[in-house]
Amino acid sequence: MRKLKNSELNRLSVEEFKQETKIPLIVILDNIRSLNNVGSVFRTSDAFLIEKIYLCGITATPPNKEIHKTALGSTESVAWEYAEDVVSLIKRLKDSKIKVVAIEQTENSVMLQGFKVLKNEKIAIIFGNEVKGVQQTAVNLCDATIEIPQFGTKHSLNISVSVGVVLWDLFKKMKLG
Amino acid sequence: MRKLKNSELNRLSVEEFKQETKIPLIVILDNIRSLNNVGSVFRTSDAFLIEKIYLCGITATPPNKEIHKTALGSTESVAWEYAEDVVSLIKRLKDSKIKVVAIEQTENSVMLQGFKVLKNEKIAIIFGNEVKGVQQTAVNLCDATIEIPQFGTKHSLNISVSVGVVLWDLFKKMKLG
């Protein structure tokens, strides 16, 4: 089982990435404090062909040396935009027929494994602050909330990890059937 | 969709966690440089009821202030052990009938979505160094290699994110069917 060299992985150039068909999935980061988390989300979104990242509220934007340390160039490939107010953004996306879903533990959460993706729908998923999660005012406007089932002692996963888990799960449902 | 309070999540105490039935999955971290990554892997392993974490080579061990920042107490719940040499560890685990699998891009990798978990088997998965990945000498001893499919410009995901993606995928296969 010989390990492959990076050159054998046939990754895309930034220009090829921009031309590539994306999965119909948008990531919204609202009030994310950690620059490491922001960079890591770019890197994961590059791997799974995410359409766009919206950075909201206090979330820092590229170019930024600390974001670059974990994004490693993926801020050049993945499309992104700063939108100060997440509530206005949610309304705007819903007006464009995009389903908006918060990753949050609520009374009505759907467990991630049970969340179904419909054909031809585009979904925007919101990840909130490291401590406070997604704001209740934003949750109130969402079409659904998804919960990552967790069975241990801690209340939540790290944001970068949550994004990895959710993007992989939805990528599989959208692209791999 | 009212957000749940932490007290409504019914998480386990450390003592309850230790008594809880785990999934038959062991995580091996070999030569992981970043303390953030180590802490994050503990937190994710707590959420998905991982049986044990082995820390090998240069991977730092608890108690450690930097690991604690991302582990947030999960070093107290999840069982762990330091094993200096990953090659001896692999041999030891295989002698105990545990299937050992490296997360690595090789000529013979199985894509994560296609990796099947057999009934009653216990699996140990190895994650390697942030830059060099899993050592070829360790890969050579493994029963299989799993690759996380990636479609963008970068060669790999962050280690914490890879662990999240793989643990979620195998947790679903082992526990949720």
- Please indicate, yes or no, if residue B25 is contained in any of the structural domains: yes
Total number of domains constituting chain A = 1
Q: What is chain A's pLDDT, residue by residue, as a tens digit (177 residues)?
A: 999 999 999 999 999 999 999 999 999 999 999 999 999 999 999 999 999 999 999 999 999 999 999 999 999 999 999 999 999 999 999 999 999 999 999 999 999 999 999 998 999 999 999 999 999 999 999 999 999 999 999 999 999 999 999 999 999 999 987
- Residue B10 in any domain: the answer is no
Question: What's residue B153's pLDDT?
Answer: 97
What CATH number has the domain bearing residue A164? 3.40.1280.10
- On whether residue B125 sits in a domain, the answer given is yes
B4 in any annotated domain: no
- Tell me which residue range forms the domain holding A55: 15-175
CB pairs under 8 A between A and B: 187
The span from the CA of B45 to the CA of B72, in Å, is 12
Residue among A145, A142, A133 nearest A106 (CA): A145
pLDDT in tens, B6-46: 999 999 999 999 999 999 999 999 999 999 999 999 999 99
What is the pLDDT at residue B176? Answer: 86
Mean pLDDT to the nearest integer, B140-163 = 97
Strands (DSSP E) along chain B, which ranges? 23-30, 50-56, 80-83, 99-103, 110-111, 123-127, 144-147
Find chain A residues with C-beta within 8 A of B76's C-beta. 153
The string of pLDDT tens digits covering residues B29-88 is 999 999 999 999 999 999 999 999 999 999 999 999 999 999 999 999 999 999 999 999
Q: What's the confidence (pLDDT) of residue A95?
A: 98
Is residue A165 situated within a structural domain?
Answer: yes
Closest CA to B26 of B10, B6, B4, B41: B41
Q: Using CB atoms, which residue from A1, A73, A104 is nearest to B153? A: A73
Bridge partners of residue A147, in order along the sequence: A111
Q: How far A78 CA lies from chain B's nearest CA (Å)?
A: 9
Nearest one of A114, A34, A150, A146 to B45, comparing CA atoms: A150
**Do the domain assignments include residue B67?**
yes
Which residues in chain B have Cβ-Cβ distances shorter than 8 Å to A13? 153
In a domain, B78, yes or no: yes
ipTM over 0.85: yes
